[in-house]
A and B are shown apart, each in its own frame.
Chain A
Amino acid sequence: MPRVVRTRVELEGRMTDELALVEGKDLPGWTGERTIVGTPTTRIDGAQRVTGRARYTQDITLPGMLHVRFVRSQHARARVVRVDDTRARELRGVRAVLHRSNLPKAPFRGEETIFREEARFVGEEVAAVCAESEETAAAAIRLVDVEYEVLPHVVDLEDAISEQAPRLDEKGNVSESGSHSRGDTERALRDADVVVDATYRTSTQLHNSLETHGAVAHWDGERLTVWESTQHVFGVREGLHLALGLPYSRIRVICEFMGGGFGSKGGAGKYTIAAALFARQLGAPVRCVYTREEENLAAGNRSATLQHIRVGWTGGRTGRISGLEHISYSNSGQGRWVADPTGPTNTLYKIADLSTKSYRVVTNAGSLSAFRAPGYVEGTFALESALDELAEQVRVDPLELRRRHATSIDPLMALRYTQKRLLDCYRIGAKEIGWSRRKRGGTPGSAEHRRRGMGMASQIWFGGGGPPAFATVHLNPDGTAVIRSGTQDIGTGTRTILAQICAEELGIGVTDVRVDIGDTDAPYGPISAGSLTLASVGPAVRQAAADAREQLLGAAAGVLEVGKRELRVEGGRIVGTSRQTTIEEIFDQLKNYTVIGRGSRFPNPSETALNTFGSHFVQLEVDVRTGEVFLEKIVAVHDIGRVVNPLTAASQVEGGIIQAIGFALTEQRVLDRATGRVLNADLEEYKVPTVRDVPPIVVRFVDVPDRRANNLGARGLGEPPIIPTAAAVANAIANATGARVRTTPMTPDRVMAAFAASRA
């Protein structure tokens, strides 16, 4: 019998109290060696992906399908006075145009329609054209005449903070979004022997998932089916339900394969709503997929930040941190929230006197959206840079400084962690990189004009997952199984790890498990974000598999006329004390019977903190003539509890590090302050790392099951690997050259400027 329990649920650091439905009793953790879980396993859907057979949203083609393109504001801020679609509608092949004045009500993210009266960034949607071909739609948007009343704008973070900036919000452009304080920070800083007072800046990073945002909508007269490239099929369904006023039962959302999201594909977008509206209005299937340029204008970004840190020290080389203040401003663009950069500062170390504040700044730029460890990447860069600056000043080894402030208790909630092995991460990483060879002031590099240095940084993130998450496991008469769950595989390997978990618990082979996910017709699955998919859905799958196994054994016991306790499933066979038989043989006797196991995710243990930890070590060279940085080696060590699949886990870490290298060294959206235009909304000028840019990366895991976390002992890994790299790079540059670069990306010109500053 299902029952309701009250539980705290975390998503990307935000806690909410919710009711969760669970069934039966949670399974105890696995004991002893596992044969499938923990073994490197290649992707069960690999063949589909390498042959081009995997169907992504942009590959969905339906008979009579129409195409949508948006008219976008060319102004950073303007009132839409009038939209005249006459010329567009006259173009052959154009089927309909939607804009403010003819749009049916479609509530979307707190606004009453998807087209606002005031367009507030270059690229904001003003109208949509639906046509018989993509080409016609693209031509028609140029024929939509929009009359604008241009208003004063501001796009830059620091400009928007200043008094002279145009006010974009009645309450002002700057609003407080979070704060924390413990002890007496002012006094601690006043009493400190040494205080580092520094300002750090991070630039806007664009997700640039290889597959852009998009949806295909089909209305059959009764039910709306939407294929979407998304991290949350149920979230898209919710968005459509709110916008179109359709009951849930009449909306189905499907995402079979998707080409990356990194946080930006968390729910329905304007393209989803537009496609659905046209599909219903015109009675034809409709596809709306963003171009690369649209993606980089309107599909979200990681906020630029301005961060001030003051951190004090008392007591010479055996001393401690005495007071830490961290104040952060984030350019949220038109977004309504802030990815808080002060999170790591609040929790990573044992610091008695600490005060943090975080502010949201609105500008006439595209909205932020979650980008892999939102806030934590930006905040960790500032925090971990500042701690190294402090270590340098007080002549304490940076790793020793961090060890000295280690905590086994979450300082924010005063709760013990289910498991924290950060000190092990330090030990393993230091050994692997050869930290003992690190010299204060760096060492000579491979050429006269090159210096070599080492740096490290730590990381904390969430990733404990939690309810609600459900799955069913269907056992076929041939002994194979199908997992059904409304989760999705965003590229991380979800299908494979779920198959491993099911196979392990059920006693069959991984290749005998099919994983049907990415469909709202299946049991509910949570958003694939916040590093929570494995830790949320995995335990539910394990439960469903165990339930299926028990039912199977019950049936087998009846057929074989033996006690159920005498039987177990092993290697796809029913094994008893006296005889063995195949699953197939049991089903042969039962005919037409399907075993369906059900599983739900139980709540996390109360009164504990559930986080992931890690540290990165970087060795690099800097060309002191040009400011170029050459990465020589990166060592990443993470504590995520049990590692279910070492192969996909290592890929996750390497991929996170590469995105971090982009954040650290090359990636930045460039906005023209005068016009608000994005000057590099393409993949030519916006520098995503290529295969040329990757250094050797060593990935290690502590790999000790977290027995208190959930029935798998596993935590998530999506976000952790992108968090500490940039600070470790900055710290290594400072070690090599004495120059402290406080702005990302640390481009050669910024490195040269830091040299100049360090010599002055």
Chain B
Amino acid sequence: MNDVRLRVNGVARQTAVPDHESLLTTLRERLGLPGSKNACEQGECGSCSVLMDSELVCSCLVLTAGADGRAIETVESLGADGVLHPVQQAFVDAGAVQCGFCTPGLIVAAYALLRENPEPSDLEVREALSGNLCRCTGYGTILAAVQRASRAMYRR
């Protein structure tokens, strides 16, 4: 077992994990944060997307033991106090959520994109979200949601 210290959503957390445990498993099973979803554990779907030191990663591919000292932000950090973050609100308003299983990962990925690039082009959004699979929507509403969020956040 490895003792690991993480800063998760602004809070210092400490836990002991086996060598091969992924950050996704640690978040979901040990730290009580099941918002990040497990849909493949192969880095192929983006459902487990989180920010690690502000960088977008698939948490299923990150070993917790190697993430000691890192700052992690999950979907649970967005939309505090019952008020949705503009990215979340945009997903609801645009109808970009169906079963919602891909949604937390997409929200984190879209949030990461808009922080770097406040007014992305359609092509840039597609590029940025191409690692996030959704089996329910036609993606069109997701593209619309990101543009809507960009407007709400930066182009008021």
Binding site for B on A (CB under 8 A): 40, 42-43, 46-56, 58-59, 61, 134-135, 207-212, 257-260, 262, 291-292, 490-493, 647-648, 650-651, 653-655, 657-659, 682-684, 688-692, 694, 696-697
Residues B17-44 near A (CB distance < 8 A): 18, 20-21, 25, 28-29, 32-42, 44
Shortest Cβ gap from A65 to chain B (Å)? 10
10 examples of A-B residue contacts, CB within 8 angstroms: A49-B103, A50-B104, A51-B88, A61-B34, A135-B20, A292-B41, A493-B98, A658-B139, A688-B133, A694-B139
**Beta-carbon nearest neighbor of B38 in chain A:** A58
Number of B residues with CB within 8 Å of any CB on chain A: 59
Shortest Cβ gap from A656 to chain B (Å)? 8
Most B-side CB within 10 Å, residue of A61, A291, A292, A493: A292
Q: Is B8 an interface residue (CB 8 A)?
A: no
* Residue from B29, B35, B40 in contact with A52 in the complex, judged by beta carbons closer than 8 Å: B35
Q: Is B10 an interface residue (CB 8 A)?
A: no
Q: Known: A51-B75, A691-B126. Is A46-B138 also a contact (CB below 8 A)?
A: no
**Beta-carbon nearest neighbor of A58 in chain B:** B38
Given A651-B95, A682-B42, A691-B126, 14 extra CB contacts under 8 A: A47-B84, A49-B100, A50-B79, A50-B97, A51-B76, A55-B34, A210-B136, A259-B37, A292-B40, A651-B98, A655-B138, A683-B42, A690-B139, A691-B142
Shortest Cβ gap from A423 to chain B (Å)? 26
Given the complex of chains A and B, what is the CA–CA distance between A650 and B88 in angstroms?
20
A-contact 0/1 string along B93-112, CB 8 Å cutoff: 10101111111100100000
**Beta-carbon nearest neighbor of A51 in chain B:** B79
* Residue from A52, A260, A292, A655 in contact with B104 in the complex, judged by beta carbons closer than 8 Å: A52
Residue pair A43, B92 in contact (C-beta under 8 Å): yes
* Residue from A53, A657, A690, A696 in contact with B130 in the complex, judged by beta carbons closer than 8 Å: A690
On chain A, the residues within 8 Å of B59 by CB distance are none
Q: Is B45 an interface residue (CB 8 A)?
A: yes
**Beta-carbon nearest neighbor of A54 in chain B:** B100
Q: Is B132 an interface residue (CB 8 A)?
A: yes
Given the complex of chains A and B, what is the CA–CA distance between A492 and B36 in angstroms?
21
Residue pair B140, A683 in contact (C-beta under 8 Å): no
Residue pair A208, B135 in contact (C-beta under 8 Å): yes
On chain A, the residues within 8 Å of B134 by CB distance are 210, 691
Given the complex of chains A and B, what is the CA–CA distance between A218 and B6 in angstroms?
32
Main secondary structure, interface of A, reads loop
On chain B, the residues within 8 Å of A689 by CB distance are 139
- Which 3 pairs show the lowest CB-CB distances between chains A and B? A52-B35, A654-B138, A491-B99
Given the complex of chains A and B, what is the CA–CA distance between A258 and B75 in angstroms?
18
Residue pair B40, A260 in contact (C-beta under 8 Å): no
On chain B, the residues within 8 Å of A492 by CB distance are 98
Binding site for A on B (CB under 8 A): 18, 20-21, 25, 28-29, 32-42, 44-45, 47, 74-76, 78-79, 84, 88-89, 91-93, 95, 97-104, 107, 125-127, 129-143
Shortest Cβ gap from B138 to chain A (Å)? 3
Residue pair A651, B84 in contact (C-beta under 8 Å): no
Given the complex of chains A and B, what is the CA–CA distance between A647 and B137 in angstroms?
12
**Beta-carbon nearest neighbor of A48 in chain B:** B100
Given the complex of chains A and B, what is the CA–CA distance between A694 and B40 in angstroms?
22
Given the complex of chains A and B, what is the CA–CA distance between A654 and B140 in angstroms?
8
Residue pair A694, B140 in contact (C-beta under 8 Å): yes
Residue pair B101, A56 in contact (C-beta under 8 Å): yes
On chain A, the residues within 8 Å of B141 by CB distance are 651, 654
**Beta-carbon nearest neighbor of A684 in chain B:** B44
Given the complex of chains A and B, what is the CA–CA distance between A650 and B144 in angstroms?
14
**Beta-carbon nearest neighbor of B40 in chain A:** A292
Residue pair A697, B135 in contact (C-beta under 8 Å): no
Residue pair B143, A691 in contact (C-beta under 8 Å): yes
On chain A, the residues within 8 Å of B33 by CB distance are 52
Shortest Cβ gap from B51 to chain A (Å)? 14
Given the complex of chains A and B, what is the CA–CA distance between A695 and B91 in angstroms?
20
Given the complex of chains A and B, what is the CA–CA distance between A291 and B21 in angstroms?
15
**Beta-carbon nearest neighbor of B129 in chain A:** A691
Residue pair A51, B34 in contact (C-beta under 8 Å): no
**Beta-carbon nearest neighbor of B80 in chain A:** A51
Given the complex of chains A and B, what is the CA–CA distance between A259 and B98 in angstroms?
9
* Residue from A49, A211, A694 in contact with B39 in the complex, judged by beta carbons closer than 8 Å: A211
Q: Known: A651-B138, A654-B141, A683-B44. Is A690-B92 also a contact (CB below 8 A)?
A: no
Shortest Cβ gap from B156 to chain A (Å)? 21
Given the complex of chains A and B, what is the CA–CA distance between A48 and B89 in angstroms?
11
On chain A, the residues within 8 Å of B142 by CB distance are 691
Residue pair A259, B100 in contact (C-beta under 8 Å): yes
* Residue from B21, B42, B107, B126 in contact with A50 in the complex, judged by beta carbons closer than 8 Å: B107
On chain B, the residues within 8 Å of A655 by CB distance are 98, 135-138
Given the complex of chains A and B, what is the CA–CA distance between A50 and B78 in angstroms?
9
Given the complex of chains A and B, what is the CA–CA distance between A212 and B107 in angstroms?
21
**Beta-carbon nearest neighbor of A688 in chain B:** B133
Q: Known: A210-B45, A655-B138, A682-B42. Is A59-B34 also a contact (CB below 8 A)?
A: yes
On chain A, the residues within 8 Å of B125 by CB distance are 691
Residue pair B100, A688 in contact (C-beta under 8 Å): no
On chain B, the residues within 8 Å of A212 by CB distance are 39
Residue pair B126, A692 in contact (C-beta under 8 Å): yes
Shortest Cβ gap from B7 to chain A (Å)? 18
Residue pair B41, A291 in contact (C-beta under 8 Å): yes
Q: Known: A56-B37, A683-B44, A688-B133. Is A647-B139 also a contact (CB below 8 A)?
A: no
Most B-side CB within 10 Å, residue of A51, A52, A658: A52
* Residue from A48, A52, A260, A697 in contact with B74 in the complex, judged by beta carbons closer than 8 Å: A52
On chain A, the residues within 8 Å of B42 by CB distance are 292, 682-684
Most B-side CB within 10 Å, residue of A292, A684, A690: A690
Residue pair B136, A50 in contact (C-beta under 8 Å): no
Residue pair B44, A682 in contact (C-beta under 8 Å): yes
Given the complex of chains A and B, what is the CA–CA distance between A61 and B25 in angstroms?
12
On chain B, the residues within 8 Å of A696 by CB distance are 140
On chain A, the residues within 8 Å of B75 by CB distance are 50-52
Shortest Cβ gap from B100 to chain A (Å)? 3
Given the complex of chains A and B, what is the CA–CA distance between A43 and B96 in angstroms?
10
**Beta-carbon nearest neighbor of B78 in chain A:** A51
Given the complex of chains A and B, what is the CA–CA distance between A208 and B35 in angstroms?
20
Shortest Cβ gap from B89 to chain A (Å)? 8
Shortest Cβ gap from A655 to chain B (Å)? 5
Residue pair B99, A210 in contact (C-beta under 8 Å): yes
Given the complex of chains A and B, what is the CA–CA distance between A292 and B43 in angstroms?
11
Residue pair B101, A260 in contact (C-beta under 8 Å): yes
